[in-house]
């Protein structure tokens, strides 16, 4: 990654060494010399001197300048794109755990972390103070993840700009922001988008340190690596992979600064990591599942088509799209490798650095897959697609560099099809009940907000699965329930677990004064004891709102009124 690299080197080339077609200066203009410093090039906003660019280039450079302002604009654009529909998608069980835990005072949260969920503690603290300012609802719960996608995109744009100028800035940003895994985690009230963001920042800082190290850059790299691990423990694998790439590609003594930053970050994370590993039993449920490791590690890890562990009826079409994208991505890499050895000697030399970057970017991905796969085989199963989110920046680099390395115009149809697939998956991810069909928590909140009257009662039928009880819906959007009476649990219970508990069944006949209107939520196909009690007390059903159909389906919410 050091400046002044020869054409045949496997290092990241300095800005302007290998300009793309749209960066080549017109005849008669001067090109900056190869030994010009990257700082000068960034300061002047271009890898070449072009006093009279074409009109379309001038418009593009005004919209997305080839400097830090352009990186930020791309990040803002990515955040806005990711934000679309973020409030529309129903929350699911894991997000309800976030909403439930962060609604309690830090003292109670600390007590919980002594026996479970310590691995998410930094994220929960952040969300606790955030929601104390803005409140708890699906939009505010997911907005920090949306912003993390924007920051990560800006970091990737900056990385691409430093390495490959204009095309790099645009393609690195687009491949990261539109990566289905990133788009999915951007509307998830969990810490995975933050892990990807911090790893993206670490990649950018490694590139900068390889060119011109400063104390602040090394400190920033240390912080980015440590924060990535604090956001998601499995981020340690792509961070280690990034460190190896830095050590092997930076040809100067600057590489030891990357190693020093990694060691410092590891030292900062060690106490937290040791304590969190002690609670590894909390993911023991994964070992009880029967799921496709190849699908999770090679497809869903980056081309996310679902939240469910296994494919359900509602996931069939997006899953086919994801598998097709995986095949197209493999074809894209093969075409890039073939292009590397095709054409004239000058063309082959021009493609060599980009293909080298593509191959180096595979190191953290392979390391993450191999370690999680090996640990799952030899110890306990921890292989879930969302645990690969921290490696998203490297998937983006592979796709961007493979696209730029293509020699033939006809081959560009492959990245176009990948773009179409990514946009299609983003649309599927934003269906009302796209996450988990039967966890239609937003349905209850919507009915209470739009149809319930002040003083109405609310009952949720008990679920045989403790963590699948419908009371968790109250945690995800508490303002929607402030005007109704939760008959079985009128007061907020203490924090005794990551999910809101299903309260004991009550005998309505002993209730001192029942409301005239009572809403009852029952899973599809389940007999309701509360319904029988209401009927005996003279209530009758008058209105029913139904959630998503299917097997398993959602809930039926019925209004019972006195005869």
pLDDT digits (tens, 9 = 90+) for 363-406: 999 999 999 999 988 888 888 999 999 999 999 999 999 999 99
Contact (CB, 8 A) for 250 and 2: yes
Rounded CA-CA distance 115/347 in Å is 59
Residue tagged 């792509």 (tokens): 238
Q: Can you give the pLDDT at residue 52?
A: 52
Q: Can you give the pLDDT at residue 7?
A: 35
Band of pLDDT at residue 11, cut at 50, 70 and 90: very low
Backbone angles phi, psi at 462, to 5 degrees: -65, 145
Span 43-53, average pLDDT: 42
DSSP 25: P
Continuous H helices in 379-460:
392-405, 413-429, 441-450
Span 416-423, average pLDDT: 97
pLDDT digits (tens, 9 = 90+) for 167-209: 999 999 999 999 999 999 999 999 999 999 999 999 999 999 9
**438 or 481, higher pLDDT:** 481
Q: Can you give the pLDDT at residue 506?
A: 92
Please state the length of the chain: 563
Quick one: angle between helices 345-378 and 392-405, nearest 10? 150
Q: Can you give the pLDDT at residue 4?
A: 39
* pLDDT beyond 70 at 353: yes
Return the minimum-mean-pLDDT range out of 20-29, 121-130, 167-176, 254-263: 20-29
Rounded CA-CA distance 170/427 in Å is 22
Domain boundaries, the chain: 61-87+137-429, 441-562
Rounded CA-CA distance 502/475 in Å is 12
pLDDT digits (tens, 9 = 90+) for 301-312: 999 999 988 888
Torsion of CA 52, 55, 58, 62, to 10 degrees: 150
Most trustworthy range by pLDDT among 1-15, 57-71, 410-424, 501-515 = 410-424
324 token code pair: 């097709």
Rounded CA-CA distance 90/87 in Å is 8
Band of pLDDT at residue 526, cut at 50, 70 and 90: confident
* % of the chain exceeding 70 in pLDDT: 89
Contact (CB, 8 A) for 369 and 382: no
Band of pLDDT at residue 19, cut at 50, 70 and 90: very low
* pLDDT beyond 70 at 51: no
Quick one: angle between helices 215-231 and 192-211, nearest 10? 160
What is the H or E stretch that residue 215 is in? helix 215-231
Give 139-154 as a 3 state SS string: HHHHHHHHHHHHHHHH
Neighbours of 28 (CB within 10 A): 5
Q: What is the mean pLDDT of the chain?
A: 88
Q: Can you give the pLDDT at residue 316?
A: 93
* pLDDT beyond 70 at 3: no
Band of pLDDT at residue 62, cut at 50, 70 and 90: confident
**Positive or negative: CA dihedral 544, 549, 550, 553:** negative
**321 or 287, higher pLDDT:** 321
Exposed e or buried b per residue across 61-83, where buried means at least 16 C-beta atoms within 10 angstroms of its C-beta: beebbbbeebbbbbbebbbebbb
Report how far apart, in Å, the C-alpha atoms of 94 and of each of 67, 224, 535 are: 39, 25, 35
């Amino acid at each position: 990654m050091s400046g002044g690299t020869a054409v045949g080197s496997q290092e990241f080339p300095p800005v302007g060494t290998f300009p793309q077609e749209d960066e080549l200066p017109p005849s008669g203009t001067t090109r900056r010399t190869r030994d010009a410093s990257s700082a000068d090039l960034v300061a002047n906003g271009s890898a070449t001197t072009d006093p009279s660019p074409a009109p379309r280039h001038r418009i593009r450079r005004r919209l997305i300048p080839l400097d830090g302002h352009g990186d930020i604009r791309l990040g803002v654009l990515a955040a806005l794109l990711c934000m679309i529909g973020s409030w529309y998608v129903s929350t699911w069980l894991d997000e309800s755990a976030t909403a439930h835990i962060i609604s309690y005072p830090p003292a109670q949260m600390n007590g919980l972390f002594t026996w479970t969920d310590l691995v998410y503690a930094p994220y929960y603290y952040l969300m606790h103070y955030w929601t104390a300012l803005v409140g708890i609802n699906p939009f505010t719960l997911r907005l920090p993840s949306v912003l993390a996608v924007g920051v990560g995109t800006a970091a990737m744009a900056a990385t691409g700009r430093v390495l490959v100028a204009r095309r790099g800035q645009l393609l690195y940003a687009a491949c990261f922001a539109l990566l289905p895994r990133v788009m999915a985690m951007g509307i998830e009230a969990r810490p995975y988008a933050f892990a990807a963001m911090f790893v993206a920042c670490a990649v950018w800082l490694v590139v900068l340190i390889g060119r011109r190290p400063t104390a602040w850059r090394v400190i920033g790299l240390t912080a980015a690596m440590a924060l990535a691990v604090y956001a998601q423990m499995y981020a340690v694998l792509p961070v280690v992979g990034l460190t190896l790439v830095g050590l092997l590609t930076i040809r100067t003594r600057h590489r030891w600064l990357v190693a020093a930053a990694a060691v410092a970050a590891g030292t900062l994370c060690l106490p937290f990591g040791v304590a969190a590993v002690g609670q590894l039993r909390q993911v023991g449920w994964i070992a009880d599942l029967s799921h496709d490791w190849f699908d999770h590690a090679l497809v869903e890890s980056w081309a996310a088509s679902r939240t469910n562990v296994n494919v359900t009826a509602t996931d069939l079409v997006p899953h086919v799209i994801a598998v097709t994208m995986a095949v197209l991505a493999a074809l894209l890499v093969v075409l890039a490798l073939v292009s590397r050895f095709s054409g004239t000697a000058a063309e082959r030399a021009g493609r060599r650095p980009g293909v080298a970057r593509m191959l180096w970017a595979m190191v953290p991905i392979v390391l993450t897959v191999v370690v999680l796969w090996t640990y799952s085989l030899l110890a306990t199963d921890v292989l879930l697609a969302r645990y690969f989110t921290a490696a998203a920046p490297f998937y983006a680099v592979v796709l961007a560099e493979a696209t730029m390395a293509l020699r033939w115009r006809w081959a560009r149809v492959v990245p176009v099809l990948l773009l179409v697939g990514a946009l299609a998956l983003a649309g599927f991810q934003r269906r009302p009940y796209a996450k988990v069909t039967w966890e239609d928590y937003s349905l209850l909140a919507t009915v209470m907000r739009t149809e319930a009257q002040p003083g109405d009662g609310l009952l949720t039928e008990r679920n045989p699965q403790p963590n699948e009880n419908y009371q968790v819906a109250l945690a995800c959007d508490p303002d929607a329930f402030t005007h109704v009476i939760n008959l079985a649990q009128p007061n907020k219970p203490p924090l005794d677990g990551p999910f809101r508990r299903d309260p004991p069944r009550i005998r309505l006949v002993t209730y001192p004064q029942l409301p005239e209107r009572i809403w009852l939520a029952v899973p599809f196909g389940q007999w309701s004891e509360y319904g029988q009690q209401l009927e005996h007390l003279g209530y009758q059903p008058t209105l029913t709102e139904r959630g998503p159909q299917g097997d398993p389906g959602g809930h039926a919410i019925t209004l019972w009124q006195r005869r």
